[in-house]
Amino acid sequence: VALVLILTGLFLTTVFGKFSKVAEEDAKARFALVTQRSAAELSNLVRGIGQSVSTLSNSAPGAFMNGDKINQNDLITAFMASLASAPNIYGHYFGLNNDEFLQVIGVRGEQKIIESLQAPADTYFAVRRITLDGTRAEQWRFVDRNRVPLGESAADASYSPSTRPWFAGALKTNQLFITDPYVFASTGEPGLTISAPLPDRIG
């Protein structure tokens, strides 16, 4: 009986050991496959967004400027349409050298973003504008999925886009610029920013 138990124990140990090894190798292969697919998807996403950023930044200034100001109305509409169809994109922005700034964030009801921005509960898009009428002012407008206004807020602007790595990097390289991954303050999630210089390096 002892011999049978020992042989049974050895058999089970061998079988479980081999099973564990096969399972581990299978898990490694699956993980490698998932990693490759994720890397390919991320690469395609970055490439597609990069092309969009390059195209927009190379447009005639009238596409995004109204005189010496950002053409807010047309850009807000275009940015919201883009974000509605691209759930992986956090937001779009335009920033000028004088620190005038327009940003549309795809909140999409995400609780973390709503809390961070102190936005109304049903916020789907948040629009941030930094304007330069005498003093730098920051205005937020929050809308739902159907673009119905939910609320607004305003304060003196402390945010300076021209000091951000994505701004300085695009102007310094004078070409499409991709930041290293970093954690977004409003989501706590990792992301990266893709930027490109505007014509005549105005922003």
Tell me the pLDDT tens digit for each residue of 132-148.
877 889 999 999 999 99
Average pLDDT rounded to a whole number, residues 28-38 = 66
pTM: predicted TM-score of the whole model, two decimal places: 0.78
Tell me the pLDDT tens digit for each residue of 90-107.
999 999 998 999 999 999
Tell me the pLDDT tens digit for each residue of 62-100.
778 888 888 888 899 999 999 999 998 999 999 999 899
pLDDT given at position 36:
72
Q: How far apart are CA 194 and CA 109, in angstroms?
A: 24
Q: Name the nearest CA neighbour of 136 among 153, 152, 117, 158.
A: 158
